[in-house]
């Protein structure tokens, strides 16, 4: 672990990002890994309240998001492969910025979809369908049979625009 990883873990934005990509329980694993510097997954399980498979899932998610690294070694007697993990938070800001850009792209696609379509909603909130989809089923909910109602989505469009702006301002 680099010396700056400990300081970065105190940053609430980085802690929130860790929770976003790996869940609330990931903080237990990250703190334990931070204390040890490097560790194999079986060692991490000793001091966290998680099953081995959960720890492995969290470590892999951290790795996929550039927040952890591993080295592989093979036991010459058993042939077993061991993964030794360490935190890699030095690049966390870049990883978070890349993720924000990806979310902005997804939101922009959703915005276009919301702006270019007319929607119909089941009064019981079973389905939200485009005009074309509603036409195909004679404007009746496929789950309850109730008639679909026109749905104004201006509020959704405004919320998407606000979130895009908020994310772009933070990049």
Radius of gyration of the chain (CA): 23
- The total domain count for the chain is 2
**pLDDT more than 90, % of the chain:** 65
Place of tokens 């990509």: 21
Which of 35, 62, 87 terminates a domain? The answer is 87
Which of 32, 57, 87 terminates a domain? The answer is 87
pLDDT of residue 6: 54
Place of tokens 């899932």: 57
Structural tokens at position 135: 């036409």
pLDDT in tens, the chain (171 residues): 444 555 677 788 888 889 888 889 999 999 999 999 999 988 999 888 899 999 999 999 999 988 999 999 998 888 899 999 999 888 788 888 888 899 999 999 999 999 999 999 999 999 999 999 999 999 999 999 999 999 999 999 999 999 999 999 887
Please, are residues 147 and 169 in contact by the beta-carbon 8 Å criterion? no
Which of 87, 116, 134 terminates a domain? The answer is 87
Q: What is the DSSP letter of 10?
A: T
Categorise residue 82: left if φ over 0, alpha if ψ from -120 to 50, beta otherwise.
beta
Provide the residue range defining the domain that includes 49: 8-87
Structural tokens at position 124: 């019981």
Structural tokens at position 106: 């997804």
Distance CA 78, CA 30 (A): 29
pLDDT tens digits, residue range 83-125?
Answer: 999 998 887 888 888 888 999 999 999 999 999 999 999 999 9
Please report whether residue 146 resides in a domain: yes
Please report whether residue 22 resides in a domain: yes
pLDDT of residue 17: 87
């Amino acid at each position: 672990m680099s010396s700056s990883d400990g300081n970065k873990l105190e940053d609430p934005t980085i802690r929130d990002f860790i929770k976003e990509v790996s869940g609330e329980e990931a903080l237990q694993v990250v703190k334990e890994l931070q204390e040890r510097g490097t560790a194999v997954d079986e060692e991490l399980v000793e001091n966290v309240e998680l099953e081995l498979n959960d720890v492995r899932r969290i470590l892999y998610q951290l790795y996929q998001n550039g927040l952890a690294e591993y080295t592989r070694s093979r036991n010459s007697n058993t042939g077993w492969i061991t993964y030794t993990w360490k935190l890699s938070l030095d690049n966390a800001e870049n990883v978070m910025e890349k993720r924000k850009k990806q979310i902005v792209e997804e939101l922009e696609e959703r915005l276009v979809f919301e702006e270019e379509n007319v929607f119909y909603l089941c009064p019981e909130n079973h389905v939200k369908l485009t005009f074309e989809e509603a036409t195909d089923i004679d404007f009746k909910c496929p789950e309850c049979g109730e008639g679909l109602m026109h749905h104004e989505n201006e509020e959704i469009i405004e919320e998407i625009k606000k979130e895009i702006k908020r994310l772009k301002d933070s990049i």
